[in-house]
Amino acid sequence: MTDTRKVALVTGGNKGIGFEAARQLAQLDHRVVIGARDQHRGQAAAEQLQSEGAEASYVVLDVSAHDTVTAAIAVIEQQYGRLDVLINNAGTAPTEGAPSEVALDTLRDTYETNVFGLVAVTQAALPLLRRAVAGRIVNLSSGAGSLTVVSGPDWRPEWNGLAYNTSKSAVNAVTVAFATELRATPIKVNAVNPGYTRTDMSPGADRPASAGAAVVVRYATLPADGPTGGFFDENGPVAW
């Protein structure tokens, strides 16, 4: 009998929101594949989920290293033959000063992971997503990627980062581009702001990573009449 359980890849899935999203998808009977740069951390994360009863595995995947991207997708194709859910979670948030002081190398490195890496994984995974009955792509964005939010009077000067903020604005634009291309297909592509949650990037947050992951999972499991090409947080649409 053919196993109809959905297959989900979560980049950067060995910790934080990515790990919690993988856990929640597993609880919804998805077979989850954790993409992790570090083999040992990826293996440990998969084993943790397995100990909880999940069908979980890992692939070595560094979104900024194209050879690992293609190799990871090849492993998923060989093992499952398709991909139902792609969560582009892997990201970086560098220490920044004022925009006028940010080194170009910092900008390049941030975009390499947050934007170019996301595009590389999405392009590589699309053939497998097209084989699914209704593929779902969720791109991790941020409130800092909203031009409306960051240009508002309440946006504090210390939050006025150049590299991270603009990389997430670019993620939103990339989301719209892919959603527009795929609008005539069953695949839905959305950007999600998981909110200010406690992760390595924001250790001072009170909100647990599981709460941010729940928002991600909501848009990774949209019904056929769900939205595409949007930007959402736990309360609904976010202004671009």
8: Cβ contacts below 8 Å, ≥ 6 apart: 22, 25, 30, 31, 32, 33, 83, 84, 85, 86, 87, 220
Cα–Cα distance list, 210 to 49, 66, 89, 119, 195 (Å)? 14, 30, 14, 25, 11
Contact 21, 13 (CB under 8 A): yes
Among 149-158, 160-169, 200-209, the range of highest mean pLDDT: 160-169
Which among 58, 80, 111, 164 is annotated as catalytic?
164
Give the Cα separation of 141 and 229 in Å (integer).
13
Name the DSSP class of 84: S
Tell me whether strands 231-233 and 7-11 are parallel, antiparallel or unpaired: unpaired
**Cα dihedral sign, 62-215-195-138:** positive
The pTM (predicted TM-score) of the whole model is 0.95
Which residue has better confidence, 41 or 200?
41
What percentage of the chain has pLDDT greater than the value 70? 95
The CATH code for residues 6-92+116-139+182-237 is 3.40.50.720
Domain boundaries, the chain: 6-92+116-139+182-237
C-alpha closest to that of 67 among 140, 117, 106, 128: 117
pLDDT digits (tens, 9 = 90+) for 110-148: 999 999 999 999 999 999 999 999 999 999 999 999 999
Contact 118, 88 (CB under 8 A): yes
Contact 36, 13 (CB under 8 A): yes
pLDDT digits (tens, 9 = 90+) for 85-108: 999 999 999 999 999 999 999 999
Which residue has better confidence, 224 or 158?
224
58 catalytic per annotation: no
Mean pLDDT of the chain: 94
Distance of CA 161 to the CA centre of its chain: 20
Cα–Cα distance list, 77 to 94, 151, 180 (Å)? 33, 43, 25
